[in-house]
Amino acid sequence: MPTTTRTRLSALTLAAILTLSLAACGQAPWAGLDTAGSTPTPTAKATITPIVNDLSAGSARHELVAGDAALTVDYSSSLSMDQWTAAANKPVSFSVSAALGTDDGQGVYLSKVSIVTAVSGPTGALDAPATFVDQSSLPTGYVMKAPYSYGQTYVLSAIDPAATSVTLSFTYELLIQTTPTSTTFAKQTASDQLTIAIAK
């Protein structure tokens, strides 16, 4: 092989080796990329707490006990639940009757009923109306032994616009004759609660 040809091949071979060396020393296309933070962080979802509505069906029946007396209370509202807004007058009607476990003919009377209203909002308790009280003017109270009953309608007026629900706490104070002809009475108390959602 002529000297000129060998020289040219040697030069080409050297150039190829230099090119490969430079390529090997170069930075890879993916170098420098931040792979540590490439996985997206899941976003925490807000927890939604459902609001209880004991009158969602329009009415509710509760069974209570006061000593030897078993109470049946029916609650309802003539205002549909979608109209139970903070600004509206919101009526709650209730009827309560009693039956005795040991019934020898004694009378059962309701001497007093009270309703405490608690108003709740997104951040906690809000201002609430005054306690409702119906104190009987009769010496013994209202007759409530079945088939008779005590009925009342409590109207909850406008409340804080931020309200999301109200809880009505009922206290029923009973007087029960010790015997059918006795003028002495035993006092018993029953408590109940009703939570109603406020429409937005």
- List per-residue pLDDT tens for the chain, 200 residues long: 554 445 454 544 444 444 444 444 455 555 555 555 556 666 656 555 677 899 999 999 999 999 999 999 999 999 999 999 999 999 999 999 999 999 999 999 999 999 999 999 999 999 999 999 999 999 999 999 999 999 999 999 999 999 999 999 999 999 999 999 999 999 999 999 999 999 99
Residue 65 forms part of a structural domain: yes
* pLDDT attached to residue 159: 98
Query: Is 30 inside a domain boundary?
Result: no
- Name, in order, each residue with C-beta under 8 angstroms of 155's C-beta and a sequence gap of 6 or more: 89, 90, 91, 92
pTM of the full structure: 0.76
CA atoms of 109 and 198, how far apart (whole Å) = 34
Q: How far apart are CA 75 and CA 16, in angstroms?
A: 95
Residue 45 lies in a domain: no
Instruction: Provide the CATH number for the domain around residue 159.
Output: 2.60.40.1470
**pLDDT reported for residue 15:** 47
- Total number of domains in the chain: 1
For residue 125, tell me if it sits in a domain.
yes
Q: For residue 88, is it within any domain?
A: yes
Domain that holds residue 110: 59-197
For residue 81, tell me if it sits in a domain: yes
Residues in a beta bridge with 174: 110, 188
Asked, for residue 35, whether it belongs to a domain, the answer is no
Residue 166 within a domain: yes
What's the token pair of residue 144? 């409530």
DSSP character for 15? H
The amino acid sitting at 95 is S
